Amino acid sequence: MQFCIRDDDTSFFTSPEQLERAYGDVTPWGPVSLAVVPFHRAGTSKGVPEAHRGRWSVHALHGNRALVDYLRQATAAGRYEVMLHGYHHDEPDGHWEFDRGDDLTRRVADGRKYLEDLLGVSIRMFVPPHNAIGREGLRAIANAGLHLGGVAGVRGGWPRWSARTWRLWLQLRRWRIGGGVGVPWVLDLGDHREIAGNAVTPVSISRVNEAGFAAALSVDGVFCAATHYWELDVPSLHPDQPTVRNQLHLLIAKAKTSPGVSWRSVGDVVCAPGAVL
């Protein structure tokens, strides 16, 4: 089974210290894939510090020199993978950036090239802000040759005329009806691949993620833990649940100790030949 960690919302507003506090003791064991926003607009996202929220000003990543230096170094050392996380992330009219729009192809191309040149990396994965993607967004990333962090599904833009769509739909439906938890495979949509994220957040329940991990192990599949560095120390909304950080570390401990688990970047897991539906 393959294990990976996806962390969303690194942007101009992120400090190297925040990422070190989150992953300094994690990346010696395996890589963390960071979904990075190239030009963050200071809207309503919780990844934006409160003092900037609602100003709608745009902040390019290169304005944070310390972070750029840190990311260049740490990605070169194999500690992080860089993924594209939208372009502005927040939109003033309240719609999700990659849900719809006629500018998405340009945003994907420009955002990707900017991050690749700035950080000296090559990008294989796109993670939509707020996990929201529509038909146009999906087409934009597929045209760019990127894969999706998340599962779009039929409502999120899988082509309805495609036999492949309905074969996957049926396979996943059978898996769920049979009591299967999560989506423990990489999904091949023909023009791109998708990998489900298992949310590790203040609303998540440890037992559910542990069941998802066990399911992935049982089918020699994939498990991607999806979290945010900025909320690792936020207490769970459920009084009986560990903090977000502890929930993540429970999964990491399983990845380290379960036989047959290989821990790789999200892009490596998605591009690997095995465990593809």
What are the residues binding Zn ion (CB under 5 A)? 8-9, 129
- The residues near 137 (Cβ < 8 Å, ≥ 6 apart) are 98, 99, 100, 101, 104, 128, 157
Select from 6, 23, 123, 124 the least CA-distant residue to 70. Answer: 23
Nearer to Zn ion, 197 or 267 (CB): 197
Nearer to Zn ion, 43 or 129 (CB): 129
Residue 221, phi then psi, degrees to nearest 5: -105, -140
Give the shortest CB-9-to-Zn ion separation in angstroms.
Answer: 4
Count CB-CB contacts under 10 A for residue 135: 16
Give the shortest CB-114-to-Zn ion separation in angstroms.
Answer: 17
Nearer to Zn ion, 34 or 119 (CB): 34
Count CB-CB contacts under 10 A for residue 80: 25
Which amino acid is located at 80 in the chain?
Answer: Y
3-class state of residue 26 by DSSP = coil
Give the shortest CB-138-to-Zn ion separation in angstroms.
Answer: 17
Nearer to Zn ion, 43 or 221 (CB): 43
Give the shortest CB-53-to-Zn ion separation in angstroms.
Answer: 14
Give the shortest CB-90-to-Zn ion separation in angstroms.
Answer: 9
Nearer to Zn ion, 130 or 164 (CB): 130
Count CB-CB contacts under 10 A for residue 195: 27
